[in-house]
Structure 1
Amino acid sequence: MNLPDHLRAVLESGRQKRLLGYRGRFAPTPSGPLHLGNLRTALISWLQARLNNGEWLLRIDDLDTPRIRQGATESALADLRWLGLTWDGPVIMQSRRLGLYDSCLSALRGEQMIYPCRCSRRQLGAGRRYPGTCRDMARGWGLQDGRLPAWRLKVKAVDEPRCGDLVLRRSDGFIAYHLSTVVDELALGITEVVRGSDLAAVCIAQQAVIASLEEHPPSYRHTPLLCDSEGQKLSKRERAAGLAALQEKQWSSQQVVGWLAASLGLVDQHCSLSASELLQEIRARPVPLQRCWDQPDS
């Protein structure tokens, strides 16, 4: 693929970082306080990085500005610090990396690997795989009836039946999640992504984007979701309880870490220990974190 020199250099830098050892990341969206499920995933991701003597990066996925809530980023950083989950290097803000995503889009457009699509969600229906309606149609990239098109990736045939042609830039101008996430995993040299099992389904789509850039994907691990008493996954949208509710009950950070670890069977119930103490305890086991994975490695 014919990439501009600066983008090629960024991707090469990511490849070199991967050669140096394990690099993981936690990437919350600042759409509200982190709920306990988010924090449990952060804990597992942090443990996996530290067990592999690697680096753990913190990235804030703040591109979708209509969803961003004031103070949510600061709240997330405070929660992670309170739990003892320290990250390596500066906090990475996606909103400061727009030039990188735009360069990638321009390169894909220059290779005729993306195309404008004016299909609405109403036309497509919720949850349906995109049927390729606009792939071979001559449609302009500019305003039409006051609206810009979405930009879709021509997904290679081997992946197309599973995920369809993916939106990389939305019709409202926002960079789509699949593109920004993929570019960052590659540019930051992430070797393994640890995230909740609700995101397991996006692996195929993200691997398709990576293949279009002729790069190799990181490995992926998915953790079981933390559910409420009715078996429903916790969600910021429903304002699921975060640390504030436990702190109001005078829980210590050691109690919270112990409770999160016990919910995965890593320690006994009612165990109280710091994140660093939990790390030391798990290091002594022959198969660390094996029970934390809800999906097979990919």
Structure 2
Amino acid sequence: MRTRFAPSPTGPLHLGHAYSAILAHDMARAAGGQFLLRIEDIDRSRSRPEWERQIQRDLSWLGLTWDGPILRQSDRQAAYDTALDDLWSRGLLYPCSCNRRDIAAAAGAPNEGEPPMGPDGIVYPGTCRPAANRPWRDRPRPRNVALRLDMRAALASLGLASGDRLSFIETGGGEGTSVGQIAFAAQELIDRVGDVVLARREMGSSYHLAVVLDDAFQGITHVVRGADLFEATRIHVLLQRLFGLSTPLYHHHRLIRDENGKRLAKRDDARAIAKYREDGATPSDIRKMVRLPTSRNG
């Protein structure tokens, strides 16, 4: 078993991060496996070295140890470029100049009803999608522009008809999600996911592309993460198929919420691990707060 914890160094770790990291760590150690640390710092405009240093301090204070060197997304751009070049040459990507306001306006046009929502928000209405073959696919892939995956073309390239099904194994079941083999029809990727962004302007990649390539590179066998990412797994399974990668097992866990039932976010500094530590809490106290055993054997 190889699990990982992959925080972004854009703010302090809070109780929700602690729960995810401890859970992935304990699962790996109980199975005699490995726990890896990956820093998802592809958003260079928001990532800060001081936050990464604090992440390492917080994890060490919690009693977590990781195997091997830390992997940083900022060192992985060449791998992302290779993957994007591959998809571009296959005619599966197209440039997109739409911003969030453009997408909302197009999707919410009169007589269209409520726009469908997907893992990334409103399902892209296809404004920039080329209507014909892409004669520019033989040209070099453009840089510093947003690139979307043409979902219909991607499915066709795999020989998948609308009723064909893809699947993954879910072992977590957090927030009421199903456990076992989760199957979904190819048509769902068109209707409920749409043409997702795989390269963001001035970032060189996107979360979906990077996480799939990085998990494969690190040999992750069990992806442990919050249930808020359950729906995005359909995107990741498709990308794995497109790149010929194996699909790991997924363990989507419950979310840590505040007293009002709201999921914790980076802005919840009052629940930052460093703040609890400064106030005299112990690692065992943190485990109790997130309802985990106070030791791996407990």
| TM-score grouping bracket, smaller chain normalisation | 0.7 to 0.9
Q: Is the CA contact 2:226–2:254 (under 8 Å) kept in the aligned structure 1?
A: yes
Pairing partner for 2:38 from 44, 49, 59 = 59
Counterpart check, 1:23 vs 2:2: yes
How far has the Cα of 1:66 moved from its partner?
2.0
Paired-residue identity, %: 38
Q: Evaluate the alpha carbon distance shift between residue 154 and residue 240 of structure 1 in structure 2; reply closer, same or farther with a 3 A threshold.
A: farther
TM-score, L = length of structure 1: 0.75
How far has the Cα of 1:140 moved from its partner?
6.9
Which letter does structure 2 place at the counterpart of 1:82?
A: W
Give runs of ≥4 in structure 1 deviating > 4 Å.
Answer: 137-142
Query: 1:27-65 deviations in whole A, cap 9, x for unaligned?
Result: 000111100110111001111111221111100000011
Alignment of 1:232-271 (within 5 A): 232-257=262-287, 259-260=288-289, 263-264=290-291, 266-267=292-293
Which letter does structure 2 place at the counterpart of 1:151?
A: L
Match of 1:92 in 2: 71
Q: Evaluate the alpha carbon distance shift between residue 253 and residue 173 of structure 1 in structure 2; reply closer, same or farther with a 3 A threshold.
A: closer
Range 33-42 or range 156-165, more displaced: 156-165
Count residues with an aligned counterpart.
243
Query: 1:193-245 deviations in whole A, cap 9, x for unaligned?
Result: 10111222211122222222132321111111111122111111343421222
Alignment of 1:6-17 (within 5 A): none
Structure 2 segments unaligned to the other structure (5+ residues): 105-119, 156-161, 163-185
Q: Is the CA contact 1:25–1:56 (under 8 Å) kept in the aligned structure 2?
A: yes
Q: Is the CA contact 2:44–2:203 (under 8 Å) kept in the aligned structure 1?
A: no
Pairing partner for 2:145 from 144, 149, 171 = 149
Alignment of 1:219-234 (within 5 A): 219-234=249-264
Match of 1:187 in 2: 217
Which letter does structure 1 place at the counterpart of 2:10?
A: S
CA RMSD of aligned residues (A): 2.2
Give me the whole-angstrom Cα distance separating, in 2, the residues matched to 1:217 and 1:24: 14
Counterpart check, 1:120 vs 2:99: yes
Q: Evaluate the alpha carbon distance shift between residue 229 and residue 115 of structure 1 in structure 2; reply closer, same or farther with a 3 A threshold.
A: same
Match of 1:130 in 2: 124
Q: Is the CA contact 2:2–2:35 (under 8 Å) kept in the aligned structure 1?
A: yes
How far has the Cα of 1:133 moved from its partner?
2.9
Counterpart check, 1:82 vs 2:61: yes
How far has the Cα of 1:162 moved from its partner?
2.4
How far has the Cα of 1:139 moved from its partner?
9.2
Give me the whole-angstrom Cα distance separating, in 2, the residues matched to 1:194 and 1:40: 11
Match of 2:111 in 1: none
How far has the Cα of 1:184 moved from its partner?
0.5
Structure with greater strand share of residues? 2
Structure 1 segments unaligned to the other structure (5+ residues): 1-21, 268-272, 282-298
Range 51-60 or range 229-238, more displaced: 229-238
SS in 2 for 1:100: helix
Range 205-214 or range 238-247, more displaced: 238-247
Give me the whole-angstrom Cα distance separating, in 2, the residues matched to 1:246 and 1:136: 52
Match of 2:51 in 1: 72
Query: 1:154-174 deviations in whole A, cap 9, x for unaligned?
Result: 222512222111111113343
TM-score, L = length of structure 2: 0.75
